[in-house]
Structure 1
């Protein structure tokens, strides 16, 4: 004789509150990712490196502002600031990108994310936006400090401040280009491994090992090869775009007539990284 099943009511209640949907999930992932980038809400160990990098950049900005205030001469422009800080940016993204995506792979939380209304595109867009924001803040805040130093010491009054704003905004736009490209490349590399050390090493390798290629191409006795040398490295690619758009740059590249090629490759590289990221997480979501 089989026993009949019994359902016991132990007092649990159904959720009857508002269901916020995918947009709220994206916003939560974005905020969490941005906080994680700077170690907020985590251990003191997680805060050391990002805030050390930020502190060094801020110190450089303060020195630039002080020299401007004392001598009236700008030793570093807003657009060239990112070029000079390129190595610090590389190491920053090498630490932050694995924190944003590799930890989810290692902890196995992605199936939990994708069991909700969250889609692969939502996850990618939230993580990418958080990474872009972190890199832009890393550059934009010191640039703003440089602006304050120049604005409060200008001898031309409102006209001088307005001219500084005209220089700052392109500098912020240039920093955004750095953020868009480095965020895409670093997140794509980190998305293939759950081991943060491997992800960090891969990001640094891709960023730094391409630099000697630029040197080799630039040393060839061919003008075209010299002008296109910067296309081989993300750092020099961004510097080339800045030099093409502004006419000046911190890497002293001789672009010749190939400036638009740098712009086209930059757009294509950013788009390719996003599409590959989307394809990667669609595959993960289907497992």
Structure 2
């Protein structure tokens, strides 16, 4: 992607990267559930998310045109960035007798959904991120930053390239960079922590990857509880409940 193609005329290649990220916690009592929801809601409010997305847009070389953000009652937040490619600001110019137009408006949206289920004692924090870019901007370079910004047990990602452009000889180009898997753009140290699988449709320039955390350290999943204070049998039961929740979210179906 560092070697840019020489293009002519209209470029409407659109690259869309969508994330669903899930953080799972064991919260048995109503107080623990309430405290967990309040915690993640404060950690990922609209102001914090705006800071994360500001860094993301800087990493892809985009210019922020406008920001819309909102916190919700009782919980959750949404942030939307309208962005443009700073290297080719939206313009229309005349080249001889031809009119050349760049439509480079793009967007980044984030929505958070903290929730819990009293019967399963499981609290889940879901983050939906959608990055749609036009022209030369590609969001793939932000994968490691996004994954690191949110502590996630399950990650599902969809990447699709749509539209087309032309090279100077007039040949249509339906994708302007090499990609065989989303995993190719994730640091191997990050990948080593997850079980990952792909479902790709190369003919449609559509790529899907989902990742499931390998190891469950109860210290990271018990909110305000020391696992060493719990009996061994109870720790095993909690670990089983957490793994069940993660597997079903990862699989996209009820399997127990």
Same fold (TM over 0.5): no
Q: Please indicate the TM-score interval, normalised by the length of the shorter structure.
A: under 0.3
**Structure with more of its chain in strand, by fraction:** 2
**Which structure has the higher relative contact order (CA within 8 Å, separation 6+)?**
2
Could you state the TM-score of these two structures normalised by the residue count of structure 1? 0.25
Could you state the TM-score of these two structures normalised by the residue count of structure 2? 0.27
Please tell me whether Structure 1 or Structure 2 has the larger radius of gyration of its CA atoms: 1
